[in-house]
Structure formats: C-alpha cells, structure tokens
C-alpha cells in the first residue's frame, strides 16, 4: 500500500472511531435521560396514588359524617350529568 492510501485509511479509521465514540456517548446520555424520566414519573405516580387514597378517605369520612348532604349532592350531580348527556 502506498503512503497516500495508508494515510487515507488511517484518517478513515480515526473518523469511524470518533463517530463510534460520539454515538456511544449520545446513547449513554439518552439512556441516562430515560432513566431519570422514569424515576421522576415513578415518584409522581406515587404522589398521585397517595393523593387519590387521601381523597377517597376524605370522601368516606364526609359521607359517614353527613349522609343526607352526601345523598343530596349525589342526586344533584346525577341530575346535572343526565341533563348534559341528554342535551347532546
């Protein structure tokens, strides 16, 4: 192989190595971001689950403490929903 071909081959090899390294770094960054997003979503999911449980417990307590008022609210909401659905 002549000197020019060897230099070209070395340049191509170096370029391929830089592209490989850059691609590997990009994949690692994307994986890190993906892991962080999954962690954040998991934490937010736990917070939402806790808020849902708290809301249900508050509703149970309200219904237990004020059954007549709760029944009135349920009837009113049912009436409003039936009006909304039937008007469409």
Higher pLDDT, 41 or 14: 41
> Quick one: CA torsion of 52, 57, 58, 61, rounded to 10 degrees?
160
Number of folded domains that form the chain: 1
Q: What percent of the chain has pLDDT over 90?
A: 67
Give this prediction's pTM. 0.53
- 62 contacts 70 by C-beta, under 8 angstroms: yes
Instruction: Provide the residue range defining the domain that includes 72.
Output: 3-86
User: Among 4-13, 19-28, 63-72, where is mean pLDDT lowest?
Assistant: 4-13
User: What is residue 1's predicted lDDT score, i.e. its pLDDT?
Assistant: 57
Confidence class for position 11, pLDDT limits 50, 70, 90: confident
């Amino acid at each position: 192989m002549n000197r020019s071909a060897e230099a070209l081959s070395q340049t191509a090899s170096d370029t391929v190595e830089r592209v490989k390294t850059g691609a590997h770094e990009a994949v690692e960054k994307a994986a890190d971001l993906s892991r962080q997003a999954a962690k954040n979503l998991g934490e937010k999911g736990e917070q939402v689950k806790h808020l849902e449980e708290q809301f249900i417990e508050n509703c149970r307590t309200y219904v237990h403490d004020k059954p007549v008022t709760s029944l009135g609210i349920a009837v009113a909401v049912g009436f409003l929903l039936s009006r909304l659905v039937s008007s469409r």
